[in-house]
Amino acid sequence: MHLEDRWTDTEERLSREASSLGDLLTRLRGRISPALVGGASWEALSERASDLPATLAAFPFGFELLLHEQRPHADLGVSVVSGSRSARHFQNLGNGEDADPAFAGLARLVKEKGRKDSPLHRVTGRKMLLEYDIDPSGDSLHPAPGAFLYPTEQRLYGRDAGRRLEDLGIVLDGVAATGWNWDACERRQVERLFLALQPEARILSLGAFPCRARGIRLAVTGFKTSGEVMTFLRRAGWRWPHARLESTLAHLKARDSFGTIAVHLDVRSDGLGPKLGLGLYARDIAWLQGGRYWLDAPSNWTAFIESMREERLAVPEKLAALENWSSGAELLFGSSGRFVLVRGVHHVKLVLAEDRVDQVKAYVFLLMCSPMQVGQTPAELP
């Protein structure tokens, strides 16, 4: 059975299992710690997810968790794969004369990524990520999500930067379709960063939030040492103090807190913003992007969690809940049949603002699929 056949089967089952992604989350509530997502934030997240189809759970989806804050807040991220039933939801949302411009652009983007002969499909394939800001005050009018594209079919390595600027522009144009119109200065800044990459470093993602302050979210990876990270940042012109960044990298590396690192930057027309993110992955990022989602284990994140405890950079209750997030594969029994639920930590991120660690975040995922074989008694969905 091909991968597309498997997700088609799972989407079909999920469409009969729950009325929305919010409905499905409600059924999975007992597996989501209230220390991580709770109170008004949980209510707002569930309400926002009620506008999204349950079929999105056939692909990895999850939460951005703020480990440094006491409040149990989370934003929502979902994967959209062109050609799927879930993708048709976003295409339908953006059709019609009265469609919000951002959603109309998103619909065009989903359609374009699904065309095998399109330049955007050639560089980024069919998958993209949408990130929804969740407002627990209840006053939000549900702004359009941020959109992120990943050069996975034709990766944008530093060694090819001089002859791949056109492909970089294709990805930028794809992101712009969701509500931006990049000016010449912004494009030049992104191109300059691309040309500053070392040969084996590459662009991981490009994205933007139509309803936030203007700027391009750029992530790069492929660094083998912390020294390579510092070399890139100097070449890129990140002009804030480097001492805390260097000491943070050294501390994490000494404790074997990550397998692969990514650098997240805000790119503006006048250069780089003051915040820098260090994305820490337990495994090689190419493994994730290939769609081969592993059964994450709590031991993958023990060193990072202990490091955060030592540095007192995160809320203890949230760190304890994060330790128990990764559960391997759990067999569930729903009204439409059996499912396998996988929960794991995709990556964690330290956000530095000038000379201090400003935020500590965890990006956790869930994934549901229909099992080919069932070898144990399933738990029941409520």
pLDDT for 292 equals 47
290-306: average pLDDT: 72
Question: Whose CA is closest to 308, among 296, 319, 320?
Answer: 319
pLDDT, averaged across the chain: 89
320-325: average pLDDT: 95
Alpha carbons 229 and 247: distance in angstroms, whole number: 13
Model confidence at 374: pLDDT above 60: no
pLDDT for 171 equals 97
Model confidence at 143: pLDDT above 90: no
Kindly tell me the sign of the dihedral angle through the C-alpha atoms of 11, 13, 19, 20.
negative
Alpha carbons 83 and 150: distance in angstroms, whole number: 17
Phi/psi of residue 318, each to 5°? -75, -40
pLDDT for 268 equals 93
Alpha carbons 287 and 51: distance in angstroms, whole number: 31
pLDDT digits 0-9 by tens, 247-284: 999 988 888 888 889 999 999 999 999 999 999 998 65
* Confidence label for 2 from pLDDT (cuts 50, 70 and 90): very low
Alpha carbons 120 and 206: distance in angstroms, whole number: 13
* Confidence label for 4 from pLDDT (cuts 50, 70 and 90): low
Question: Whose CA is closest to 20, among 46, 52, 43, 44?
Answer: 52
Predicted model pTM: 0.93
Model confidence at 211: pLDDT above 90: no
Residue the block writes with tokens 């940042």: 233
Alpha carbons 20 and 173: distance in angstroms, whole number: 31
Burial class of residue 299 (count of CB atoms within 10 Å of its CB; 0-12, 13-18, 19+): exposed
Q: Which two tokens stand for residue 53?
A: 């189809």
The more confidently predicted of residues 23 and 254 is 23
pLDDT for 36 equals 98
Decide if 273 contacts 265 (C-beta within 8 A).
yes
Top-confidence range, 106-120, 138-152, 234-248, 328-342 = 106-120
pLDDT for 30 equals 95
20-30: average pLDDT: 97
Question: Whose CA is closest to 358, among 134, 68, 64, 35?
Answer: 68
Residue 64: CB partners within 8 Å, gap ≥ 6?
Answer: 74, 75, 76, 77, 131, 361, 362, 363
The more confidently predicted of residues 298 and 107 is 107
Question: Helices marked H in 196-349 — which ranges?
Answer: 226-236, 243-254, 285-289, 302-311, 316-323
Residue 312: CB partners within 8 Å, gap ≥ 6?
Answer: none
Strands (E), the chain: 61-66, 74-81, 127-132, 146-149, 202-208, 216-221, 260-268, 271-281, 328-334, 337-353, 356-369, 379-380
Model confidence at 288: pLDDT above 50: no
Alpha carbons 352 and 359: distance in angstroms, whole number: 7
Model confidence at 376: pLDDT above 50: no
pLDDT for 137 equals 83
Domain boundaries, the chain: 3-339+352-380
The more confidently predicted of residues 76 and 289 is 76
Neighbours of 137 (CB within 10 A): 7
Alpha carbons 74 and 55: distance in angstroms, whole number: 21
User: Which one-letter amino acid corresponds to residue 232?
Assistant: F
Q: Which two tokens stand for residue 358?
A: 């400003």
pLDDT for 290 equals 45
Burial class of residue 185 (count of CB atoms within 10 Å of its CB; 0-12, 13-18, 19+): exposed
Model confidence at 243: pLDDT above 90: no
Max Cα distance, the chain (Å)? 59
The more confidently predicted of residues 3 and 344 is 344
Model confidence at 18: pLDDT above 70: yes
According to DSSP, the residues that pair with 366 across neighbouring strands are: 61, 343
Model confidence at 328: pLDDT above 80: no
pLDDT digits 0-9 by tens, 95-107: 877 878 888 999 9
139-148: average pLDDT: 82
Residue 171: CB partners within 8 Å, gap ≥ 6?
Answer: 120, 123, 124, 149, 151, 156, 203, 206
217-222: average pLDDT: 96
Decide if 261 contacts 278 (C-beta within 8 A).
yes
